[in-house]
Structure formats: structure tokens, C-alpha cells
């Protein structure tokens, strides 16, 4: 039997935008692995009447309701009470949970448990209790009228711990199917061209299915299959993934790869090569993405953020004549920046970026969005010129960074780097 779920996040702070609803994302990703379809996300404030309305709607369209938040000891933590009222379940005091809370406060807070924490030991009658080893609010689950209701705490670390330890095992007992997905990662085609290219293929697929998702500056194609076992789902997906990657060719930079920088670092390690960076308009974004990866020190030697023209000349050794003749934003300067970074670091390869991120043209009148990606290698120095248009400053910086990684990836795999 296929199950459908609705996730209800409770908390006025979510509606105000004070915190992001990361719990819904984490739960949705986890539920897909156990064959549960998430069809609705709902956010409701700390208001019993509106929560009850949300529950009434959810129980009519989903057979699994998962709530997060509102399980604390304060006056506005009313999720349990409202759910029990909506489903006609009395709250029952669990003495073992209460005793555990008292010990927690004595050992960790060095004080007697406040009286308002007693409500955290009250759970729906005949429920399955979810222990919370990293907090004070236990979760629980019960079934009423064919609907499974699961209550989880709001703090993300507590929620994720409970999700892994209790919720997934509980849900595995309800479903005979699992959902497996693989992400085909691409760069070089926007979402609209990609959708147009793949529309015919996607429109005829049901299981496995194929869908496009736009990430910042790139497009992900997710192939998904539902089957009785992991092995069966993988067998269904393998020919789809191969067919799509073969069809898209060098637009694909990997399957289930977190990002372009991961693909580049893997290639550098495989080839035993080192890298340096020289950045201007990207302001260190490339170096930041690289140094976020564990173990990157084996291939990344360092970088220079040369925002001023004088720094390009004094640190990277860009000839003053080049800067005077062609300007800081030019193909010739991108070449010299990459060659300088490679020379001063001793790296095998260096990538550079210079451009105009906006919001105004540079002092020579070069338009916003004009960017040059330089690459210095043992085989010579290359450049990819770009016109990224009048986008927002941060979008131009992100796009330029991705193009830099794409140039590097293409060189390391023997592809022409001038094809954007």
C-alpha cells in the first residue's frame, strides 16, 4: 500500500521568517527513502484553533501526519493538547518519562525540574513513545481512523535524531515499497532549455520518473523509481541514468555529486595535480567552496583575491602594460592572473576570474556581467569569455564561480573549455 503524508510545522517564528523550515526538507528527504509520498507541507503558528483547522484538512487527504514543534514546556507549546483533542485521545502522564526529566535537570542543569516541564511527560493514550536522547521533549506516534499521527520536537538536531532513531523504523513497518533517486548533475544549460530538451522523454515516464530542478547556476535531473526493494529500484534506474547521461553528454558533470567543486577536486586527486586560484569579481567564492571540502589541501595550494588593479600587478605580476592597454577586465588580464597564480604558488594548474559584477559598469565602461575565466596549464593558457547579462551581483558571482569550475573540469577531462 502506498502512503501519503502531510508535514505540519508548528511555530509562529516560522511564519514570521525568523527561522527557516529546514525540518520539512529533512523529513521529506527521509520519507522518500521508505516509500512515503509527501504531498503537502503546512506551516501554522502557535494557535490551537488554526492548528486544529490544519489537522482537519490534513486528515482528509493524508494517511500520515507528521508535526514538528510545540512539544516544549511553555504556555504556547500546545501541539500535543490540540492533536489529542482533534483525534479524541486523552493525555496520560508517563511516570518513567517524568522521572527521566527530573534526573536530566539534576545532572545537566543542576536544579530541580520546573513544574511546567511535567507536560512534556504527558503523551496520548496508547501511543508509541519516541525517546529524545538530546533534549527534554519526547515524541510519539499513534493511529486513529486509519491516520498515523507522529509528533516530533522542533529543534532541528533533536528532530533529526528522532527521525533517524524512531520515525524511519516506524514508517518502514507501514510501507512495502521504497523510493530511490539519483541526481544527474549538469552545467551549461538553463532550466528552460533543459526542460525543452528533455520534455518528450520526461512526459512518457511514470516509474521511473524524471524531473528537472534548478539549483543556483545549474540544473539537476532527478531520476526516481519506486519498488519493493532497493535492488529492484536500482535495476530500474540504471538504464535511465545511462540513457540521460549519454544523451546530455558533456553537460553532465556527475551523478549524485554535491557540486562542481567536488567533481573538480576528485579529478585533481585522480590525476595527481595541484590547483591555485586568482579571483577578482568573485571575491574569494571559488577558494571558499574549495576549502569547505575535507582533504582538499592535498590538491589546493592557495589563492589570491586581487580586487585592486595594483594588487593584480604587485602580487600576481600582471604586467602594467597589459592593465593600461586592455584594462583589468579583459582576456589578457585573465591570462596573466592565472599565470601569476600558478607561478607564485607552484601549482600545476591555476584558474582566474576577472569581471564586472555590478551594479555599475567599471571605470572603462565595461558592462555589468562581462567576465573572463582564465586557465593556466602545462599545455598553455586559455580563456573563456562570458556575457552573463545584467543579473544581480550575487548571481553573477555565483555563475562566474561555476564557470571557473566548469573550465577546470573540462580541461581535466579533455573537453574543449571554450564551450560555455
pTM: 0.79
**Both 129 and 219 in a single domain?**
no
Residue with cell string 607552484:
346
Which pLDDT tens digit goes with each residue over 228-245?
888 999 999 999 999 999
Q: CATH number of the domain that 282 lies in? A: 3.90.950.20
Q: CATH number of the domain that 16 lies in? A: 3.40.980.10
Cβ within 8 Å of residue 105, ≥6 positions away: 111, 112, 113, 114, 117
**Both 17 and 112 in a single domain?**
yes
Boundary-marking domain end, from 172, 203, 233: 172
**Both 251 and 353 in a single domain?**
no
pLDDT band at 420 (very low <50, low <70, confident <90, very high): very low
Give the containing element (helix H, strand E) for 168.
helix 168-172
**Both 76 and 216 in a single domain?**
no
**Domain contains 276:** yes
Would you state the pLDDT for residue 419? Answer: 57
**Both 21 and 60 in a single domain?**
yes
**Domain contains 375:** yes
**Both 12 and 29 in a single domain?**
yes
pLDDT band at 34 (very low <50, low <70, confident <90, very high): confident
Domain extent at residue 142: 3-172
**Both 290 and 251 in a single domain?**
no
Grid coordinates belonging to 4: 501519503
How many C-beta neighbours within 10 Å does residue 2 have? 11
**Both 271 and 212 in a single domain?**
no
Q: Based on the structure, what is the number of domains in the chain?
A: 3
Boundary-marking domain end, from 234, 255, 276: 255
**Both 265 and 228 in a single domain?**
no
Would you state the pLDDT for residue 272? Answer: 98
Which pLDDT tens digit goes with each residue over 246-294?
999 999 999 999 999 999 999 999 999 999 999 999 999 999 999 999 9
Q: In terms of Cα–Cα distance, which of 216, 223, 89 is closest to 144?
A: 89
Amino acid at each position: 500500500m502506498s502512503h501519503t503524508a502531510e508535514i505540519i510545522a508548528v511555530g509562529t517564528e516560522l511564519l514570521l521568517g525568523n527561522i527557516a523550515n529546514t525540518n520539512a526538507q529533512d523529513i521529506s528527504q527521509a520519507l522518500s527513502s521508505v516509500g512515503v509520498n509527501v504531498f503537502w507541507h503546512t506551516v501554522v503558528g502557535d494557535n490551537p484553533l488554526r492548528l486544529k483547522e490544519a489537522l482537519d484538512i490534513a486528515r482528509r487527504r493524508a494517511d500520515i501526519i507528521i508535526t514538528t514543534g510545540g512539544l516544549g514546556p511553555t504556555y504556547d507549546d500546545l501541539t500535543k493538547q490540540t492533536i489529542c483533542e482533534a483525534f479524541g485521545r486523552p493525555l496520560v502522564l508517563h511516570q518513567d518519562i517524568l522521572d527521566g526529566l527530573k534526573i536530566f535537570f539534576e545532572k545537566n542543569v543542576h536544579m530541580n525540574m520546573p513544574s511546567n516541564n511535567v507536560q512534556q511527560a504527558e503523551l496520548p493514550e496508547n501511543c508509541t513513545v519516541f525517546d529524545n536522547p538530546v533534549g527534554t521533549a519526547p515524541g510519539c506516534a499513534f493511529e486513529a481512523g486509519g491516520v498515523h499521527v507522529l509528533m516530533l520536537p522542533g529543534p532541528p538536531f533533536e528532530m533529526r535524531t528522532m527521525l533517524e532513531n524512531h520515525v524511519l523504523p516506524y514508517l518502514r513497518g507501514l510501507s512495502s515499497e521504497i523510493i530511490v533517486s539519483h541526481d544527474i548533475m549538469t552545467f551549461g544549460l538553463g532550466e528552460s532549455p533543459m526542460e525543452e530538451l528533455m520534455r518528450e522523454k520526461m512526459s512518457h515516464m511514470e516509474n521511473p520518473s524524471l524531473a528537472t530542478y534548478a539549483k543556483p547556476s545549474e540544473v539537476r535531473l532527478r531520476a526516481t523509481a519506486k519498488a519493493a526493494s532497493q535492488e529492484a529500484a536500482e535495476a530500474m534506474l540504471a538504464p535511465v541514468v545511462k540513457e540521460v547521461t549519454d544523451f546530455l553528454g558533456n553537460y553532465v558533470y556527475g551523478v549524485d555529486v554535491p557540486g562542481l567543486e567536488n567533481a573538480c577536486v576528485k579529478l585533481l586527486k585522480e590525476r595527481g595535480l595541484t590547483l591555485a586560484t586568482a579571483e577578482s569579481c568573485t571575491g574569494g567564492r571559488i577558494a571558499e567552496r574549495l576549502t569547505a571540502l575535507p582533504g582538499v589541501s592535498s590538491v589546493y595550494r592557495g589563492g589570491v583575491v586581487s580586487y585592486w588593479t595594483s594588487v593584480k600587478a604587485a602580487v600576481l605580476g600582471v604586467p602594467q602594460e597589459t592593465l593600461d592597454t586592455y584594462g583589468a577586465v579583459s582576456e589578457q588580464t585573465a591570462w596573466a592572473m592565472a599565470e601569476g597564480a600558478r607561478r607564485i604558488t607552484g601549482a600545476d594548474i591555476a584558474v582566474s576570474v576577472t569581471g564586472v559584477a555590478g551594479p555599475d559598469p567599471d571605470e572603462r565602461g565595461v558592462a555589468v556581467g562581462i567576465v573572463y575565466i582564465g586557465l593556466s596549464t602545462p599545455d598553455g593558457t586559455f580563456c573563456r569569455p562570458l556575457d552573463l547579462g545584467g543579473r544581480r551581483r550575487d548571481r553573477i558571482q555565483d555563475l562566474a564561480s561555476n564557470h571557473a569550475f566548469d573550465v577546470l573540469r573540462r580541461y581535466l577531462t579533455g573537453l574543449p573549455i571554450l564551450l560555455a
